A and B are shown apart, each in its own frame.
Chain A
Amino acid sequence: MPALSTAPRPTAPPRTDPPARTAPLATALRRNLTAHGFLIGAVLCFAVFSWYPMVREFLLAFQKTESGRTTWVGLDNFRTVADDPAFWQAWGNTLLYTALALLLGFAVPFVAALVINEFRHGQGYLRLLVYLPVMLPPVAAVLLFKYLYDPGYGLLNELLRFLGRPEQQWLQDPDISLLAVVIASTWMNMGGATLIYLAALQSIPGELYEAAELDGAGLLRKIWHVTIPQTRLVLSLMLLMQVIATMQVFVEPFLLTGGAGPEGSTTTVVYLIYQYAFNFNNYGAAAALGLMLLVLLAGFSAAYVKLSRAEDE
């Protein structure tokens, strides 16, 4: 018979090891140092090539250089720019260009995405096809359109002559030159937007369409009541991005119409900035005009950021 068992004596709780508590902090510090190390390069490049030029632009907008001496001239540069006869034409053209670019550059990729989305087979091929123009260097694409639009031997006028229709002056007609530039620009740039819209469309749950079909909705009603509401956020973001991008248009009108276009009809704000800086040697005026554009686009950018945050919620 075992002896009477006594109740076990309770053991003292183990002592904690103080050094162990510092391990997470040390690890975090090491990780942060590495991350900051990698960030330094990007921050320095941004500082030198983006932030410094912006500060410089701000200063230049209020300065004037004569005989090597730089003086502060308050708002003189802004008055000079506003008094330029091309000022209002440039802003008018830029706003008109932006409006046309939204009409075409916004609607065309969306429709293209809708069409591609309806195909059950061959979507990959169609995506590649739509995206190909984006791969062309802008200059090459512009030269292609320059040939298409040529009033003498261009493809479009050859086609019109073949059909017995009157020729058009395209890039050389003050009334339609800007539209011609927009068409070229849309073709060159719609690939990216189409892919984004296509991705948005494909993320819409199929059940919503099935429910709509059960309610007897046709194609247009499905687009209006299901597709557009479901992609509203993407559409809004793309709209703002497009406004910001098209307001800065320079390459297409510069290469297609020589810059100003017939009777100045394709002169844009950025082209005018180019003229002030490099043809008129008036950096102050160029900076002032650039600052005006910056302030306007900053407003759109702020709206873009706000919408981006809304998407995260």
Chain B
Amino acid sequence: MRSARLRRTRRPAAVALVSALALTALAACGTSSSDDGTDGTEQSGSSDPTTPLDPRTKVTLTIDCMPPAAKAAELKEWKEDVAEFNKTYPNVTIEGRSTPGQCLEPPRFTAMLKAKSQPDVFYTYFTDLPQVLAEDGAADISAYVHPTSVPLLKDIAPDVLGSLKHKGNLYGLPTSNYTMGLLINRKLFKDAGLDPDAPPRTWDEVRAAAKKIAALGNGVAGFGEYSAGNTGGWHFTAQMYSLGGDVVDASGTKAAFNDEIGKQVAKNLHAMRWEDDSMGKTQLLKWGDLQKQIATDKLGMFLAAPDDIAYMVQQLGAKYENFGMGPIPGGRNTLAGGNNYMVKKGISPDKIKAAVAWLNFKNLTVGKGQFDWARAKADGLPVGVPQPNFWLGDSKTKDDGARTRHATMPVANFKAFMDNPVPGKAEPPKAQEVYKVLDNVMSGLLTNKDADIDKLLATAETQVNQVLAHQ
């Protein structure tokens, strides 16, 4: 009887062990519940999109791209702005999420959209609009954006706002924009006997200047270009635009770069690399590589957006004084882009109103938020980075004035860029796939001394046409 009793008591223990293991395994496998994001205490306000948010409405907004702790000054300003915003909207909680590194990393962004785990207000680039719409990830906020909710709406440059529209509907509000220009290293320009206040304006001038700079020796390259990770195709596109060319035709269905302009771009690059030896030996570069080179006085020039300057100063230890910026050589068109916030599809009208109110205050008010240049200067942040026109009219006048008054860098170094705006042009359709094909053109030109340019362009044309056939 004693023996029988012992056997019976062990069985429940085994069952308990199995249950415990199962629960542990479930925890170890990372099962998690998902928060639907709805605030249980939310009060319903007016659903009329043209009516501003009632300050008594309780709303919690999740938003990404809040500066991380490592960016202490920007984070301080973010919190100050939230506090000031809450004076008008005391019941709106801005729940910021920050990310170390870049706010938008394509792989993570894609996964976020697939999982529909984006916050209520999420950061994107202009070029991400098709992807976001394909995943049905953004709300149409056209009805919510009007002179009452965004007082300076009329002063936002049309090409900036246009980047966020699809079939007449508005899907986001802009944060900043950029156009590509020619970034130069002023020290190397002076060393080579060139005037850093007069950057090259034509590709022939680029070639001549690059040759002089490369003659300094010690591994210095005069001009640099990308040719890997789809960035080579991106810059080939920019060079085509600069000469008035196109990469894809107006219908969006045919390659348009295998022409005289395409040959001109290709031949110029090949000549700089192999005849002048002015582009350095190391190729297959991508974003980040040229910045390191120019920041360490090993590169004279490359095509860049102005925000590269801030990156090089803040991350790579360079000095603003050592850089200058001119318009993109050729000057016919330039590649344009920018950043913006979108609003998650499916959230409540009150949340959308709160999102528009916050974005208006933080990003679209001259003298406030990101445009408070006096505060930025006091906090040790860069003021005066050259920018293409974001504002028009009175807003532009006021903003430019404040920017110049509180500049923390020699804005004269960027005068050539600011004084000679080049019309911005959007990326081609299926941009990354087209860039991937054109990468082969760039890498062929820069790594193959005996490259057959006609063949490279013809092969790429055939391949881009294949890519465009699947739309």
A residues lining the B interface (CB < 8 Å): 26, 30, 33-34, 36-38, 40-41, 44-45, 48-49, 65-69, 80, 83-86, 150-153, 169, 171-174, 257-264, 275, 277-281, 283
Which 6 pairs from chain A and chain B are nearest by CB? A68-B136, A258-B228, A41-B25, A85-B463, A37-B18, A152-B281
Interface residues as binary, B432-471 with A (CB distance below 8 Å gives 1, 0 otherwise): 1100110110011011100000001000001100110110
The answer on a CB contact under 8 Å between B229 and A258 is yes
- A26 — which chain B residues lie within 8 A by C-beta? 7
Q: Is B134 an interface residue (CB 8 A)?
A: yes
**B107: interface (CB < 8 Å):** yes
B286 within 8 A of A: yes
A258 near B284 with CB under 8 A, answer yes
Contact between B284 and A263, CB atoms less than 8 A apart: no
Q: Does B14 contact A (CB under 8 A)?
A: yes
Q: Which residue of A lies closest to B13 (CB)?
A: A30
Instruction: Identify A151's interface contact among B135, B282, B463, CB under 8 A.
Output: B282
Whether A262 and B219, one on each chain, are in contact in the complex, defined by CB atoms closer than 8 angstroms, is no
Can you name the residue of chain A whose Cβ is closest to the Cβ of B460? A85
Q: How far is the CB of A78 from chain B (nearest CB, A)?
A: 12
- How many A-B contacts if CB must be within 8 Å? 139
Chain A's closest residue to B289 (CB) is A258
Chain B min CB distance to A172 (Å): 4
CA distance A150 to B283 in the complex (A): 9
* B11 on interface, CB distance cutoff 8 Å: yes
Chain A residues near B107: list those with CB within 8 A.
277-278
Q: Could you list 15 further interchain pairs (A-B, Cβ under 8 angstroms) beyond the known A44-B25, A85-B467, A279-B436?
A: A33-B14, A40-B21, A41-B24, A44-B22, A44-B26, A67-B134, A68-B137, A86-B437, A86-B463, A152-B282, A172-B447, A262-B447, A263-B456, A277-B110, A279-B433
Taking CB atoms, residues of chain A closer than 8 Å to B29 are 44-45, 48-49
| Contact across chains for B286 and A85 when beta carbons are under 8 A apart | no
Partner of B18, one of A36, A45, A171: A36
Q: A45 to B25, alpha carbons, bound, how many Å?
A: 7
Query: Is the CB–CB distance between B436 and A278 below 8 Å?
Result: no
Q: Are B131 and A281 in contact (CB under 8 A)?
A: yes
Closest to B26 in A: A44
Of A152, A262, A264, which contacts B280 at CB under 8 A? A152
Q: Provide the bound-state CA to CA distance between A283 and B134, in Å.
A: 12
The CA of A172 and the CA of B227, in the complex, are separated in Å by 11
> Inside 8 A of B133's CB, which chain A residues have their CB?
67
Q: List 15 A-B contacts (CB under 8 A).
A: A33-B18, A37-B21, A83-B466, A83-B469, A85-B466, A171-B284, A172-B283, A173-B447, A258-B284, A260-B229, A262-B444, A263-B443, A263-B444, A263-B456, A277-B107
- Whether B284 pairs with A262 at a CB distance below 8 angstroms is yes
Interface class of chain B by DSSP: helix
Interface centre among B10, B24, B30, B282 (most CB of A within 10 A): B282
Collect the chain B residues with CB atoms within 8 Å of residue A65's CB: 134-135
Quick check: B284 and A172 within 8 Å, CB to CB? yes
Say if the beta carbon of B70 comes within 8 Å of chain A: no
Q: Hey, which chain A residues are within 8 Å of B134, CB to CB? A: 65-68, 281
Contact mask B401-420 → A, CB, 8 Å, 1/0? 00000000000000000000
In the complex, whether B250 has a CB less than 8 A from a CB of chain A is no
Interface bits B21-40 vs A (CB < 8 Å: 1, else 0): 11011101111000000000
Are A152 and B467 touching (Cβ within 8 A)?
A: no
- Which of A26, A67, A153, A281: most chain B Cβ within 10 A? A281
Contacts of A275 in B (CB 8 A): 432, 436
Most chain B beta-carbon neighbours within 10 Å: one of A37, A173, A174: A37
A residues less than 8 Å from B208 (CB atoms): none
**A14 → chain B closest CB, angstroms:** 20
B154 contacts chain A at the CB level, 8 A cutoff = no
Query: In the complex, A152 Cα to B25 Cα: how many Å?
Result: 53
User: A86 touches which one: B430, B436, B444 (CB < 8 A)?
Assistant: B436
Please name all residues of chain B whose beta carbon is closer than 8 Å to the beta carbon of A171 when the two chains form the complex: 284
> Given the interface contacts A67-B136, A85-B463, A171-B284, does A260 sit within 8 Å of B440 by beta carbon?
yes
Known: A260-B228, A264-B440. A84 touches B22 (CB 8 A): no
B229 cross-chain contacts in A, Cβ below 8 A: 258-260
State A292–B281 Cα separation when bound (angstroms). Answer: 38
Proximity string of chain B (103-134) to chain A, C-beta cutoff 8 Å, 1 when within and 0 when not: 00011001000100000000000000001011
A150 touches B448 (CB 8 A): no
Is residue B378 within 8 Å, beta carbon to beta carbon, of the partner chain?
no
Q: B444 touching A258 by the CB < 8 A rule?
A: no
Could you tell me if B283 and A83 are in contact, using CB atoms closer than 8 angstroms?
no
Q: Could you tell me the distance in whole angstroms from the C-beta of A61 to the nearest C-beta in chain B? A: 15
CA distance A164 to B388 in the complex (A): 51
Docked pose: A69 CA to B134 CA in angstroms? 9
Q: Is B17 close to A, CB under 8 A? A: yes
**B448 with A262: CB separation less than 8 A:** yes
Residues of B within 8 A of A277 (CB): 107, 110
Residues of A within 8 A of B446 (CB): 172
Q: Which chain A positions have C-beta within 8 A of B291?
A: none
Known contacts A153-B219, A281-B110; A85 and B462 CB within 8 A of each other: yes
B228 touches A68 (CB 8 A): no
Nearest Cβ in chain A — how far from B347, in angstroms? 15
Given contacts A26-B7, A152-B281, contact A37 B28 (CB under 8 A): no
> Is B25 a contact partner of A80 (Cβ separation < 8 A)?
no
Q: Does B230 contact A (CB under 8 A)?
A: yes
A173 neighbours in B (Cβ, 8 Å): 447-448
A275 to B432, CA, bound (A): 9
In the complex with contacts A41-B21, A80-B470, A152-B219, A280-B432 CB distance below 8 A: yes
Q: Which residue of the partner chain A has the closest CB to B459?
A: A85
When each residue 319-341 of chain B gets 1 if its CB lies under 8 Å from chain A and 0 otherwise, what string results? 00000000000000000000000
Q: Write out the residue numbers on chain A whose beta carbons fall within 8 Å of the beta carbon of B15.
A: 33
Bound Cα distance from A150 to B467, whole angstroms? 33
Give B130's nearest chain A residue, CB to CB.
Answer: A281
**Residue numbers in A under 8 Å from B25 (CB-CB):** 40-41, 44-45
A84: which of B345, B439, B447, B467 is its contact (CB, 8 Å)? B467
Contacts of A36 in B (CB 8 A): 18
Give chain B residues whose Cβ lies under 8 Å from the Cβ of A153: 219
| Chain A neighbourhood of B230, CB < 8 A | 279
* A174 and B447 form a contact (CB under 8 A): yes
A172 to B433, CA, bound (A): 22
Once the chains bind, are A45 and B28 in contact (CB under 8 Å)?
Answer: yes
Task: Provide the bound-state CA to CA distance between A37 and B21, in Å.
Answer: 6
**CA separation between A28 and B434, bound complex, in Å?**
64
Chain B residues with Cβ below 8 Å from A262 are 227, 283-284, 443-444, 447-448
CB B218 to nearest CB in A, in angstroms, measures: 11
